[in-house]
Structure 1
Amino acid sequence: MTPLIDVIFLLLLFFMLTSTFSTFGEIELSSAARGTSAQNTDIERAFVQLGATRVVLNGAQTTLDDLASELRKGQVLVSLDADTTAQRLVDLLVRLRGRDGLTVTVLE
């Protein structure tokens, strides 16, 4: 019986040391509804191409920090390159999060 308890404690110690107890940040994603009509056609739109190493805003090369300062309100359409990682997209969304009047749409 005693060796079994030792093995259980060793397994418990192993799983406690190998697991992570950190919480992950959440980013709210909403899908666009089909068939909705545009109520305000005066919306400023910005087109962002996001790659693993590049960020292009309306055809001009920029950085994530400069992009966040340039976009104040309107609609941002984000196109992802094939080499874009999920972390890179999350970095962009975190910089643009919480701004009033700014909506971000990630294109497929």
Structure 2
Amino acid sequence: MTPLIDIIFLLLLFFMLTSTFTKFADVPLMTAGSGTASAPQPRKQIFLRLMADGVSVNGNPIDFADITPSISRAMGGTSGPASILFSLGPKVSSQLFVDTLTRARAIPRAEVTVLQ
């Protein structure tokens, strides 16, 4: 008969070897009042709406793959900062939200604000 400690050790070893240890990416979110206070600057306002069936930038429907170029076009040739207001529709998956948020944050001079 096998001692109980051997069985526990084998189970522990099995679960440790079959588990995957990956580092998940962090998505930093701040509340509207957090961050450093600075003098207000005129910003270009861009409205990004994410629905379960599509994405729109400033009310114009776009393809998901064209998020970054569409936001860059909406920013125009301005060298100043832009504010992206990110709105979520009902039934949007969290993976789609994180993918879209990552693409929007990759745009230089753009600050993303997620609306509720």
Q: Could you state the TM-score of these two structures normalised by the residue count of structure 2?
A: 0.76
Count of residue pairs the alignment pairs up: 106
How far, CA to CA, are the matches of 2:12 and 2:38 in structure 1? 57
How far apart are the structure 1 equivalents of 2:82 and 2:68?
Answer: 13
Q: Which runs of 5+ in 2 are unaligned?
A: 73-80
Q: Where do 1:1-108 residues align within 5 Å?
A: 3-33=3-33, 39-40=40-41, 42-72=42-72, 73-108=81-116
Of residues 74-83 and 9-18 in structure 1, the stretch that sits farther from structure 2 once superposed is 9-18
Deviation at 1:50, TM superposition (A): 0.4
The unaligned stretches of length 5 or more in structure 1 are none
TM-score by length of 1: 0.81
Moved over 6 A (4+): none
Cα shift at 1:11: 1.5
CA distance in 1, matches of 2:38, 2:4: 67
Aligned-pair CA distance for 1:86: 1.1
